[in-house]
Amino acid sequence: MKVDQINWGDDSAEHDASLMNYFVRSTAFTRLTNKSKGVVVGRKGSGKSALRKALEQHFSDHQDTHLISISPSFNHIKNVLNANMTGFSEEIFFQHTWLRQIMLDCLCKIGHSAKGHYATESLEFARKVSVELNKTSKDFVENITDILSSVKAKAGSLGDFGLDLEKELRNIAEVDSLSFHLKALAQGGAKFVILIDDLDLGWNNSDVSNNLLLGLLAATASLKALSPENIYSCVFLREDVYSILIRKTQHSDKYRNIEPIRWDKKTLVDLLNARINHNRHLQLLDRKLDPFFDVFPETVGTSYTANWLIERTLERPRELIQLARYYTEQISGQADAEILKGSEQVYSNWKLDDLCTEYSNQYPGLIVIFQYWKTKFFRGKYHLKRTDIEEKILEIICNVALNEKWFNEITNELDVQLLLKIFYEVGFIGDFVQGGAGGSKTFYSFKDVHEPIFEEVQIHPCFRKAVNTVVRNSSNNNSAVPLSSTDNAIDEPAA
């Protein structure tokens, strides 16, 4: 096949018209189609939006199921967070705003399209809602504006309602009336599936943005109580955002039944194979059971290629596809290990920038630290003992000029351990543990439940080129692992 003509798909699942031609069905997808989970959690690029798009297609084919997909745009969220929210930032305010938004969306959907055996009074109510709102509910910003205006006209601020706060918010948002009719329709057999995604757009880790999302989680829990069988909502959240939210609520036990998105070696290779086969089809070639080696060499150095590729990701599809794209865009003939190795530098630079963007709200300016590392620790080791890594971190604390609150707190206290934990949290380093029955292993935060001890650490392979670590020839334990293996541990290269 013509490898240089491969189209690996759009980076954004929403804009990938061919996504369903090569979507890889997982156990997570199966559980969600069975409506057994209400929150999907995954890191940036892990495939949350692709999963949501697949669920949209799955549920849209179900008779009597009304699909509501809510994806607030960046500008919508920004407008909310930039508004004058003084006194209106509480979780309970956003809970009722979300309830009104979602229930109006549901009633508009059924009111526009439903016929037949549903409760007559409630169906007529839904039809009136649909007509009044021109078949489409107001957007989230409009709903918040309406509720804010009503609150200010009635009391001035939320605090002025005192103990009647929840009662007054329910009245203003018309929650009781909307929920009565929605529940009646659900009890009559109408099924509603509500998928809510893109919530990290505009999120900035402020109290307002966190309460906005905590209000959503509370709202979806309330909706489920109306009709557990026929009203199903699923919220898609970035993993780091979810972790912050759980630490900020007293009701974390309600939101623990999540579906974490995880990939292993086999499913990641399946993803590449599905996209290669799609391109074979476009090039009028037959699909193959295992077309991997039509595109990639069998080995890179002493490592099997699949292992080499996956080692250089944080086990997320977007990273793997990006590395594959850099490779195939440079190739002009057959699979070539040297071209694949050569693509690692530009990919590693991209991945480091991507990491800093991912954590720009928690740790703004993180890229400045890595730029310092890249120049000051040029050709340093990627495997470091505690004294070595602490020495580097202390030098960073003393010399990097970064005027951000999180970093100022570290520098004021000379808190080497905290910056070390941040490096581990974001995935830049892993905790290398010697010995034991299973041999040595490097634990990374994105895949292991592990309490790091930091006696020895390793810079993750996907960042080593970007920060100019030493390149050394090594016999990798992965060379003994066949392509079909499902063991996705990242092994320690021998010296």
Residue type, 238: R
pLDDT at 348: 97
d(CA 240, CA 51): 18
User: Which residues of the chain fall below pLDDT 70?
Assistant: 73-76, 78, 80-89, 114-119, 134-138, 155-160, 162-163, 436-438, 471-495
* 212, 315, 406 from 80: Cα distances, Å: 9, 34, 25
369-413 confidence digits (pLDDT tens): 999 999 999 999 999 999 999 999 999 999 999 999 999 999 999
Work out whether the CA dihedral 475, 319, 284, 286 comes out positive or negative: positive
Amino acid at 194: I
Helix crossing, 405-413 with 416-426: angle to 10°? 140
Q: Collect all residues with Cβ–Cβ distance below 8 Å to 27 and sequence separation of at least 6.
A: none
Task: Extract the runs of DSSP E, i.e. beta strands, from 306-455.
Answer: 383-385, 429-433, 441-443
- CA 106 – CA 242 distance, rounded (Å): 26
Is 337 within 8 Å of 12 (Cβ atoms)? no
Per-residue model confidence as pLDDT tens digits over 23-35: 999 889 999 999 9
Q: In what order do the strands lie in the sheet with 258-260?
A: 65-70, 191-196, 231-238, 39-42, 258-260
343's tokens: 């693509």
| pTM: predicted TM-score of the whole model, two decimal places | 0.85
For residue 195, give Cα distances in angstroms to 49, 67, 447, 490.
10, 8, 26, 34
Q: What are phi and psi of 234, to 5 degrees?
A: -135, 125
Could you tell me if 29 and 313 are in contact, meaning their C-beta atoms sit under 8 angstroms apart? no
Q: What b/e readout covers 143-177, taking b as 16+ CB neighbours within 10 angstroms?
A: bbbebbeebeeebeebeebeeebeebbbebbebee
d(CA 444, CA 313): 12
Using CA atoms, how far apart are residues 472 and 450, in angstroms rounded to an integer? 28
Give the CB-side neighbour count of residue 276, counting CA atoms within 13 A: 21
Which amino acid is it at 450? H
Q: Which residue bears the tokens 């059971």?
A: 289
Burial track 421-450 (b if 16+ CB lie within 10 A, e otherwise):
ebbbbbbbbbbbbeeeeeeebbbbbbbeee
DSSP string, 282-326: HTT----S--HHHHS-SEETTEEHHHHHHHTSSS-HHHHHHHHHH
Q: How far apart are CA 376 and CA 309, in angstroms?
A: 28
CA torsion 376→381→383→388, rounded to 10°? -50
Token digits for 230? Answer: 């026929």
Q: Which two tokens stand for residue 107?
A: 């009633």
